[in-house]
Chain A
Amino acid sequence: MEVGMRKWLLAIGVALGLSALAQTGKLEIFSWWAGDEGPALEALIRLYKQKYPGVEVINATVTGGAGVNAKAVLKTRMLGGDPPDTFQVHAGQELIGTWVVADRMEDLTSLFRQGGWLQAFPKGLIDLLSYKRGIWSVPVNIHRSNVMWYIPAKLKEWGVTPPKTWAEFLATCQTLKRKGLEAPLALGENWTQQHLWESVALATLGADGWNNLWSGKLKFTDPKAVAVWETFGKVLDCANKDAAGLSWQQAVDRVVQGKAAFNIMGDWAAGYMSTTLKLKPGVDFAWAPSPGTQGIFMMLSDSFGLPKGAKNRQNAINWLKLVGSKEGQDTFNPLKGSISARLDSDPAKYNAYGQAAMKDWKSNRIVGSLVHGAVAPESFMSQFGTVMEIFLQSRNPQAAANAAQAIANQVGLGR
């Protein structure tokens, strides 16, 4: 029955020349969105099926936060010459440094022109997606990395205000320690420590210095860059000693329970606190840009690209058109807990945190995140964990800076 219906619709579609209905075949979407993030992707897929009912969508997910497992699976598939029709990838260097330089992706500039996306997305974002006069993926969402979370009621109780610079932060930390708070900053496992590092680095170097670091103009061994590690070390002294054993959610829990005052985490923490912990954004919990980064939006973005040799190319292009559209983005992002990458999205669909982030997205200077794949290729990123381990073991800023520069030279950062 179902099949018969579809054939009929198809015939009518062809007869009427409706290209959308005539579209048949399959579309394989490869991503790591399962579990909590699954519903957002499924909503987007439903929307796609409404528009292209003749297409069978294969939702190929490989679970694991930030795509740790999915990326390995994708690499073996691509090396074996079996690319999915489209795949999720962190926008920026994680895509460019791995797939674009290896000549495995199609240039999507014409898609951006047709959709008017060159105006719809902010220029700072387009710059991060571009390489050698091409634009290589369509961003579906935006998260912010440099956010500091706290509980206003608790801060009032302790008599402190959210610090505006890292110097202020360290002073506040001492005050809180005197009041008996053992670890004013809540910190989790290795990658959350790198996440904290990028906020400290952005504050210390400024937006230009940060960008110069990734273009190779500023060396990691420059005294300015070494100073990042010095501040970072002092900030770590304010954090819990059992960090390595905590997930990022457990670190947020420490703040919510009043065992710590602050946590630096991406704005998926807002989703965790409002959806899972049922706290009211702006009332039960609040946020500020991480110290010293006011006016700068350190972004990361999930995006979809078009690999060369995709078996269902036209279906994949239609998917990318939907992903970049206002309708697609406003369907996906409220469920995902992120904001739309577009400047014209509808604020009414988002919660209090989302609306605040959208305002900053439009007005702030945009830079990319290191830990989440925007500014450095995977070959650097994966070894930055080693740099962090060297620092945590030795607490020696110069040693960490030397190691970072050695890796940057080895992978040809900025070239």
Chain B
Amino acid sequence: MRDRIVAFLVLLPSLVAVGIFVYGFIGQNLWVSLTDWGKNPAQALALRPELHFVGLENYRELFTGFVDVRFRQSVVNLIFFTLFFMGGSLGLGLLLAMALDRGPKGEGLFRTVFLFPMALSFVVTGTIWRWLLQPQGGINVLPTLFGLLPFHFPWLTTRQQTWVFDWNQLPFYTALAVGLTLLYVAWKAHQEGERKRLFWSLLSSGVLLVWAFTLGRTTHLLPYPEPHGFSLALVGVILAAVWQMSGYTMALYLAGLRGIPVEVLEAAKVDGASEWQTYRHVILPLLAPITLSAMIVLGHIALKIFDLIFAMAGLDYAPTDVPAIYMYLLAFRGNQFAKGAAIGILLLLLVALVVIPYLVSQLRKEVRR
């Protein structure tokens, strides 16, 4: 009992500090996002601004307002950036780790070389890669070293988009994606024989899919079509980000590979597994927890990305916009504090979506132990 009191007293200062400076301010930010701060210029920067509660108006404007088209493109950019960045870093990191795991000559040197970019800040990485991606230099003239013609891709300055879709179809695609995921969960549950989970996931998936193909097709967020897509200017940013973070995933995977007991690998060999089969059925499943934690770390970096894009393309270039940049523009240039706060809350929710399931599963594991 006394131990508990002492422990509580020791923890108290940090609890209070975290309570005020983290949760208190999150709460304040949430409140600001529900007000009209910034709508009236006379109140925007007054010494004691008068704020009025407007409910979810700021959020509604962000997703369906005429002038916030840039926010919607930034969300699309963020999703593509996160997917490619995570995929690229994990894939490249795993390949590098597998190569180094075979113990080539100078392994220590290569390990350092691959890990080194992580020591740089995103601003430095961004500046270097901006130079490398200049249309008339850097990467584009690389082929001329081998007597080939230079590339002509304008990297960061292109305005091209691919996979263009109409924003109005967002409800349809969201319902479709979530429905199909739930269907997959149901299939898994079926395999594992968990009948309760099978029932619920099958039911909710069914409802979502039915909605998507009936009402979902006619639900329109905007009265006019608004095309959004994957901006090719992001390819350069993704390259730089993968370059920076793949060393980190390599280190994680390398530790994981080294941690696999030799007995398991030998047992697989005795059973007559080919190299590919060993990877597919023995090594990769054992690396799954590492992949998960790497995804969490990379995912939250990707969702909060600001500095890399700031350094590579600046704040004013919409094709590489992400919500964090638009938030800065709205709040600190346009004095639209409430709308900026709303974007902040949306980003928090996105990161929470990634982190909280992970934390919950970790906690459960600990309790089980």
Contacts and interface: CB of A to CB of B under 8 A. Distances in A.
Interface of A: 68, 71-72, 75, 78-79, 81, 97-99, 101-104, 189-191, 241-245, 308-309, 377-379, 381-383, 385-386, 389-390, 392-393, 402-403, 406-407, 410-412
A190 B157 CA distance: 11
B53 interface: no
A406 B69 CA distance: 12
Interface of B: 38, 41-47, 66-67, 69-70, 134-135, 154, 156-157, 159, 313-319, 328-330, 332-336
10 contacts: A68-B333, A78-B45, A79-B45, A103-B47, A104-B46, A104-B47, A244-B313, A245-B154, A386-B70, A403-B67
B325 to A, nearest CB: 11
B135 A245 contact: yes
Contacts of A75: 45, 332, 335
Q: List 5 tightest A-B contacts by C-beta distance, closest first.
A: A382-B334, A190-B316, A389-B318, A72-B332, A382-B333
B45 A98 contact: yes
Contacts of A68: 315, 333
A97 B159 CA distance: 33
Given A75-B45, A386-B69, A407-B67, 15 more contacts: A72-B328, A81-B47, A103-B42, A104-B47, A244-B159, A244-B313, A245-B134, A378-B333, A379-B44, A379-B335, A382-B329, A386-B67, A403-B67, A403-B69, A406-B67
Contacts of A410: 67
Contacts of B66: 402-403, 406
Given A383-B334, A386-B69, A98 B41 contact: yes
A244 B157 contact: yes
Given A386-B67, A406-B67, A407-B67, A379 B134 contact: no
B335 A191 contact: no
A383 B69 CA distance: 11
Contacts of B316: 189-191, 385
Contacts of B319: 244
Contacts of B38: 379
A21 B315 CA distance: 46
B154 A242 contact: yes
A190 B45 contact: no
Contacts of B156: 244-245
B42 A102 contact: yes
B135 to A, nearest CB: 5
Nearest to A385: B316
A64 B156 CA distance: 22
B153 to A, nearest CB: 11
